């Protein structure tokens, strides 16, 4: 009852607080160029009213209301706020603490406190939206984190949260002695009743997305193998879909990827051992690949690989083979780095490595971070500079359509029409 009263009391206040400043302000942004999510336009300006983009086009032709504030952004490129496709705000780099230790030894209060700093770093790096794919032992803390951001209590990106991922019993971790049952980094579920319940419960608690591990290593020193059956995966997708939630699948084996694709997931995360056949199937079924190349790169370096000096470890070599097959198949590529495995705020690593290490065209990756991610994740209100869409905007020094690294030079972040960083 107490919590109901609290919710009832704070709801209207926060609505008022969000609407009050929006009515009276218009903001004209005058950069050197605008990347609209698709192409670059020299000499464009963007007019923001309230939390939305009101107009975009040649700066001289915009109908600017009297009293509008103007921000001159000489030499800068303005583009849609970037979208992180795969984050874990409740994790921090594994070279600081192992995943096992984070799940087992760190209190939830400590993890949430860290996550607030991670959320700020993400936003300041120009990422105004993040798909946060699992709390890894921190239960529903992502739901509260998202609420705190939406209420303006802490700065951070707009979040799509997955809460507790679903895993088949016995397939996940941490694993200690067989005599000790330790808390798991995700929710175990099996069979019809168990699965339906394990999908509905997080949705009721605020999950925007259902994340499932379609394969994993069953034991410490063995390769990944499929976990859920085809029937179980299909049931997960059907149950989530009927509640309007997409499913994303962690999968790196061809069979795990195949089952997840046939089940109808929205994206497959990692896909490290994907084959031409399974990527073709994904393309046919409209399932996108989020390759998370930066995660394997980071963990390989944590294990001693000196990138640029040592030969590529087997895992990285394999990733190059599978990425080549993925790109040849024409499967949709989402951009998301599994950030949390490496430092929050360093989100751009994924985009940089896709261009530099995997040969993707800069423009494809830039679209990936904006309009393509928005389309794949069905975020139709963002990802482009277009009238009526959310005024989530970033200005960077230089031209990111020529050099992806220009995205590191963030000079301005606007979220929902509010200047966050300048
Ligand atoms: Zn992940």
pLDDT of residue 7: 37
In the reported structure, the alpha carbon of residue 209 is separated from the centroid of ligand 1 by a whole-number distance in angstroms of 13
* In the predicted structure, residue 97 carries a pLDDT above the cut 90: yes
Write down the residue that tokens 């067989």 correspond to: 178
In the reported structure, the alpha carbon of residue 91 is separated from the centroid of ligand 1 by a whole-number distance in angstroms of 10
Domain boundaries, the chain: 2-80+384-421, 82-376
Superfamily of domain covering 2-80+384-421: Urease, subunit C, domain 1 (2.30.40.10)
* pTM for the structure as a whole: 0.94
Report yes or no: 340 and 89 within 8 Å, Cβ to Cβ.
Answer: yes
Percent of the chain with pLDDT over 70: 94
Alpha-carbon distance of 136 to 275, in angstroms, equals 28
In the reported structure, the alpha carbon of residue 214 is separated from the centroid of ligand 1 by a whole-number distance in angstroms of 13
pLDDT of residue 186: 95
In the reported structure, the alpha carbon of residue 86 is separated from the centroid of ligand 1 by a whole-number distance in angstroms of 6
Write phi, then psi, for 66 (nearest 5 degrees).
Answer: -60, 140
In the reported structure, the alpha carbon of residue 12 is separated from the centroid of ligand 1 by a whole-number distance in angstroms of 35
Largest CA distance in the chain: 72
* In the predicted structure, residue 367 carries a pLDDT above the cut 70: yes
* Helix and strand numbers, DSSP H then E, in the chain: 13, 19
Q: What's the whole-number average pLDDT of the chain?
A: 94
- Classify 350 as helix, strand or coil: helix
In the reported structure, the alpha carbon of residue 133 is separated from the centroid of ligand 1 by a whole-number distance in angstroms of 6
pLDDT of residue 84: 99
Superfamily of domain covering 82-376: Metal-dependent hydrolases (3.20.20.140)
SS (H, E, C) 101-160: HHHHHCCHHHHHHHHHHHHHHHHHCCEEEEEECCCCCCCCHHHHHHHHHHCCCCCCCEEE
Confidence of residue 10 (pLDDT cuts 50, 70, 90): very low
Question: Which residues have CB under 8 Å from 132's CB, separation 6+?
Answer: 87, 88, 89, 90, 142, 159, 160, 161, 162
pLDDT digits (tens, 9 = 90+) for 182-237: 999 999 999 999 999 999 999 999 999 999 999 999 998 899 999 999 999 999 99
pLDDT of residue 422: 86
In the reported structure, the alpha carbon of residue 130 is separated from the centroid of ligand 1 by a whole-number distance in angstroms of 12
SS3 percent helix, strand, coil of the chain, rounded to 5, is 40, 25, 40
Report yes or no: 218 and 169 within 8 Å, Cβ to Cβ.
Answer: no
pLDDT digits (tens, 9 = 90+) for 309-322: 999 999 999 999 99
Alpha-carbon distance of 162 to 209, in angstroms, equals 5
pLDDT of residue 221: 87
Specify the DSSP class assigned to residue 22.
Answer: G
Q: What is the mean pLDDT of residues 73-77?
A: 98
pLDDT of residue 56: 98
pLDDT of residue 19: 42
In the reported structure, the alpha carbon of residue 51 is separated from the centroid of ligand 1 by a whole-number distance in angstroms of 31
Nearest to 400 by CA among 122, 39, 72, 46: 39
In the reported structure, the alpha carbon of residue 85 is separated from the centroid of ligand 1 by a whole-number distance in angstroms of 10
* In the predicted structure, residue 9 carries a pLDDT above the cut 80: no
Q: What is the mean pLDDT of residues 335-363?
A: 98
In the reported structure, the alpha carbon of residue 186 is separated from the centroid of ligand 1 by a whole-number distance in angstroms of 12
Confidence of residue 250 (pLDDT cuts 50, 70, 90): very high
Percent of the chain with pLDDT over 90: 92
pLDDT of residue 25: 81
In the reported structure, the alpha carbon of residue 269 is separated from the centroid of ligand 1 by a whole-number distance in angstroms of 8
Centre a 10 Å sphere on the Cβ of residue 363 and count the other Cβ atoms it contains: 17
In the reported structure, the alpha carbon of residue 7 is separated from the centroid of ligand 1 by a whole-number distance in angstroms of 32
In the reported structure, the alpha carbon of residue 119 is separated from the centroid of ligand 1 by a whole-number distance in angstroms of 16
pLDDT digits (tens, 9 = 90+) for 326-336: 999 999 999 99
In the reported structure, the alpha carbon of residue 239 is separated from the centroid of ligand 1 by a whole-number distance in angstroms of 22
């Amino acid at each position: 009852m107490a919590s109901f009263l609290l919710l009832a009391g704070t709801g209207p206040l926060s609505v008022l607080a969000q609407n009050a400043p929006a009515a009276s302000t218009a903001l004209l942004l005058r950069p050197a160029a605008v990347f609209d999510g698709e192409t670059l336009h020299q000499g464009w300006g963007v007019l923001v009213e309230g939390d939305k983009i009101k107009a975009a086009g040649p700066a001289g032709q915009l109908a600017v209301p009297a009293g509008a504030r103007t921000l001159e952004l000489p030499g800068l490129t303005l583009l849609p706020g970037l979208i992180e496709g795969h984050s874990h705000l409740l994790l921090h780099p594994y070279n600081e603490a192992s995943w096992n230790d984070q799940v087992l030894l760190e209190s939830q209060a400590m993890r949430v406190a860290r996550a607030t700093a991670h959320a700020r770093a993400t936003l300041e790096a120009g990422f105004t939206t993040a798909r946060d794919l699992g709390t890894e032992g921190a239960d529903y803390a992502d739901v509260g984190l998202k609420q705190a951001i939406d209420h303006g209590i802490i700065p951070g990106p707009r979040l799509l949260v997955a809460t507790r991922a679903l895993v088949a019993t016995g397939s996940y971790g941490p694993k200690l002695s067989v005599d000790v049952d330790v808390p798991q980094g995700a929710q175990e579920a099996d069979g019809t009743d168990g699965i339906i319940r394990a999908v509905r419960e997080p949705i009721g608690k605020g999950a925007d997305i259902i994340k499932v591990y379609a394969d994993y290593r069953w034991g410490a020193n063995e390769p990944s193998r499929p976990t859920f059956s085809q029937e179980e995966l299909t049931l997960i997708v059907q149950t989530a879909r009927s509640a309007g939630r997409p499913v994303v699948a962690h999968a790196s084996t061809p069979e795990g990827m195949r089952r997840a694709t046939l089940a109808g997931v929205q994206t497959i995360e990692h896909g490290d051992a994907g084959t031409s056949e399974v990527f073709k199937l994904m393309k046919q079924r409209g399932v996108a690949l989020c390759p998370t190349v930066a995660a394997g790169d980071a963990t390989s370096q944590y294990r001693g690989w000196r990138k640029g000096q040592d030969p590529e470890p087997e895992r990285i070599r394999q990733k190059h083979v599978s990425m080549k097959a993925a790109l040849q198949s024409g499967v949709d590529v989402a951009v998301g780095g599994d950030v949390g495995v490496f430092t929050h705020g360093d989100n751009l690593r994924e985009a940089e490595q896709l261009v530099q290490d995997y040969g993707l065209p800069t423009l494809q990756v830039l679209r990936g971070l904006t309009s393509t991610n928005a389309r794949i994740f069905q975020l139709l209100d963002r990802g482009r500079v277009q009238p009526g869409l959310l005024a989530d905007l970033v200005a960077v020094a230089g031209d990111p359509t020529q050099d992806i690294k220009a995205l590191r030079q963030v000079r301005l972040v606007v979220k929902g029409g509010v200047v966050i960083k300048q």
